[in-house]
Amino acid sequence: MTVRIVTDSTCDLPAETVARYGIHVIPLYINAGNQGYLDGIDISRVEFYTRLPFFSTHPSTAVPSTERFVAAYNALADEGANEVLSIHISSTLSGVLNVATVAAQETTSTRVIVFDSRQLSLGTGFLVETAARMAAAGSSVDEILPTLNDQVTRSRVFAALDTLEFLKRSGRMNRYMVGLATLLQIKPIMTMQDGKPGSERVRTRDHALKRVVEMLAAAGKLERVAMVHTHASREVLAQLRSMAAHLLPQGTILSVDITPVIGAHIGPGAVGFAIVQASNNQVIQGE
């Protein structure tokens, strides 16, 4: 039994992990004015966030076509895949899952199962990595799915935004509210858990970072943890890492730029964590 894993570019997994397990990543589209980009191919995360404040038209995003997914599934079947597990960003945030589901129904070359990660960024990425590791060890899709469903319930992503400006530009918040929040130094904290996006509002950047650390502490023992950010400065990343040092494993932890598909709305400078809480007798990563 050969199982292959498909995901989309919002999963934020490092290229080394993708290559190690032969994960097939389908890029989403980023459109700015008359220019279209394939996420992670035509434009890097660093370039996107550097240019984001200066785009004359605020970027929009789009999902790949059904045909693009069918082609990916058929290609993996040609490579010998008996089953394909296609894991994608939460259906509450994007239409990717719907497109993948239609494509799976149209694919006859192999069995395709589509899975809603109910997460974003490395919340999705950690699920993809778990599935790929199990597939490499010989597990079938039916054996992988219960593990993923359990991990979803223990997955969290939370990050403090640096500005509300890009929520305004993307139409997620009106100009009056942005102006008032800026005057009051409001820093929103965005959260994602089991397919449910949420938010909190705190005053000042320092209080926002403190609240992020409180969320990390409240999670208890961790199976996985990584820093996620939208091209935040080294100083801010170092500050958050220092504040959370007593909660983090020793040594280097993964730190990644969040997909532009989300970053176009929350803007540069956001910083936080993607975590998987430990279950039963598991202990924090690195112990």
Domain-by-domain residue ranges, the chain? 3-28+63-152, 155-277
**pLDDT tens figures, 253-278:** 999 999 888 888 888 899 999 999 99
Q: How many C-beta atoms surround the C-beta of residue 50 within 10 A?
A: 12
pTM of structure: 0.90
User: Among 145, 146, 140, 128, which Cα is nearest to 20's?
Assistant: 128
Q: How many helices and strands (H and E) does the chain possess?
A: 11, 13
pLDDT of residue 204: 84
Structure-token pair, residue 126:
């950690």
With respect to CATH, is domain 3-28+63-152 assigned 3.40.50.300? Answer: no
Q: Around Cβ 205, how many Cβ atoms within 10 Å?
A: 17
Is the pLDDT at 121 greater than 90? The verdict is yes
Angle value at C-alpha 39, between 114 and 191, nearest 5 degrees: 65
Location of structure tokens 């209080």:
207
pLDDT tens per residue across span 14-23: 999 999 999 9
Q: Where are the beta strands (DSSP E) in 92-221?
A: 111-116, 155-160, 186-193, 196-203
Residue 170's pLDDT band, with cuts at 50, 70 and 90, is very low
**Does 7 score more than 70 pLDDT?**
yes
* Alpha carbon distance 185, 163 (integer Å): 9
For residue 128, count other CB atoms closer than 10 A to its CB.
29
Identity of the residue numbered 263? G
Residue 82 DSSP SS3: coil
Q: Which of 3.10.450.350, 3.30.540.10, 3.40.640.10, 3.30.1180.10 is the CATH number of 155-277? A: 3.30.1180.10
Strand partners, 157: 192, 274
